[in-house]
């Protein structure tokens, strides 16, 4: 734990650290290696809503601020400051992709916390099958191991844009973005 001279701690410390990011850039959480300070009762639900102590965090600006100091480590998701590291619960992916646009050769996604990301070699689109229902669960990489679950209406748009291609696994539907091919399912499959 930090002492009082180190500045604010807990949620106040997270807010203070996130506000110190220069301009509109993201804080360098990948460079911060504070001691683990315990768990904090923040849950990011499957639908992308953030909760603190069982209540939704209603201030969008606060959720966006927290999202800038979110990091995925081998032991889970954490809010990180230069002096604290607090584990939170993420039910699926920490973000949701709420929009997609074709911009030239790229697919550009917008997340629920305001991140814009172009799919490509560094930001892959992947589709898993739900283990219970078998339905597709699509994701796009946002930054440093953090992903956004692609919401169903956005996935419908992707399927409409998909093209068929022969692969070693057989004909597949997929999408090109920034020179990379991303399969979304077998050709002829009911994906939505």
d(CA 128, CA 139): 8
pLDDT at 2: 36
Q: Give the pair of three-digit tokens for residue 115.
A: 């991140």
Fold of 95-186: duf1285 protein fold (2.30.270)
Range 141-154 average pLDDT: 96
Q: Provide the 10 A C-beta neighbour count for residue 150.
A: 27
Name the pLDDT band for 189 (thresholds 50, 70, 90): low
Residue 11 has pLDDT above 70, yes or no: no
Pairing of strands 125-129, 146-150: unpaired
Following DSSP, what letter does each residue of 125-164 receive, concatenated?
EEEEE-TTT--EEEEEEEETTEEEEEPHHHHHHHHHH-EE
CATH (residue range 4-90): 3.10.540.10
CB 159 within 8 Å of CB 175: no
User: Domains of the chain: which residue ranges?
Assistant: 4-90, 95-186
Common-topology check for domains 4-90 and 95-186: no
Residue 162 has pLDDT above 50, yes or no: yes
SS3 62: helix
d(CA 115, CA 135): 26
**pLDDT one-digit tens code per residue, 40-67:** 999 999 999 999 999 999 899 999 999 9
Hey, which residues does 97 pair with through a beta bridge?
A: 111, 150
pTM score: 0.84
Name the pLDDT band for 121 (thresholds 50, 70, 90): very high
Range 63-81 average pLDDT: 95
């Amino acid at each position: 734990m930090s002492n009082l001279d180190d500045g604010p701690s807990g949620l106040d410390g997270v807010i203070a650290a996130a506000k110190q990011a220069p301009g509109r850039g993201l804080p360098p959480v990948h460079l911060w290696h504070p001691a683990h300070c315990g768990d904090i009762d923040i849950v990011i639900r499957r639908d992308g809503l953030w909760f603190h102590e069982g209540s939704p965090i209603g201030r969008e600006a606060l959720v966006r601020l927290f999202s800038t100091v979110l990091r995925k480590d081998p032991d889970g998701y954490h809010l990180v400051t230069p002096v604290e590291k607090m584990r939170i619960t993420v039910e699926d992916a920490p973000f949701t992709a709420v929009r997609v646009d074709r911009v030239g050769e790229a697919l550009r996604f917008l997340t629920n916390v305001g991140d814009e990301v172009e799919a490509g070699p560094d930001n892959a689109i992947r589709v898993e099958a739900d283990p219970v229902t078998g339905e597709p669960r699509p994701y796009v990489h946002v930054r440093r191991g953090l992903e956004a679950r692609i919401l169903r209406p956005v996935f419908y748009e992707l399927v409409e844009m998909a093209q068929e291609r022969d692969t070693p696994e057989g004909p597949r539907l997929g999408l090109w973005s920034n020179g990379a091919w991303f399969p979304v399912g077998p050709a002829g499959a009911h994906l939505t």
